Amino acid sequence: MNKILVIAVHPDDETLGCGGTLLKHKANGDEIHWLIATDIKESEGFEKTTVEKRGEEIDKVKELFRFSSVNRLGLSTTKIDEYSMSDLISKISSIINKVKPNIIYLPFKGDVHSDHKYIFDAAYSCTKTFRYPFIKKIYMMETLSETEFALSTKEDSFVPNVFIDISNNMDKKIEIMKVFESEMGEHPFPRSERNIRALGTLRGATCGCDYAESFVLLKEIQ
Considering the entire predicted model, what is its pTM? Answer: 0.96
| Average pLDDT of the residues in 135-153 | 96
Q: Which domain holds residue 199?
A: 3-220
> Does the pLDDT of residue 56 top 90, yes or no?
yes
% of the chain residues with pLDDT over 90: 95
Edge to edge, the sheet with strand 103-107 lists 69-76, 31-39, 3-8, 103-107, 137-141, 212-220, 162-165
- Read off the CATH number of the domain in which 165 is found: 3.40.50.10320
The answer to whether the CB of 213 falls within 8 A of the CB of 143 is: no
Mean pLDDT computed over every residue of the chain: 96
Name the domain count of the chain: 1
Q: Tens digit of pLDDT for each residue in 61-118?
A: 999 999 999 999 999 988 999 999 999 999 999 999 999 999 999 999 999 999 999 9
User: Quick one: angle between helices 85-99 and 114-124, nearest 10?
Assistant: 60
**What is the rounded CA–CA span in Å between residue 73 and residue 29?**
27
DSSP codes of every residue in 22-50? HHHHHHTT-EEEEEEEEE--GGGT--HHH
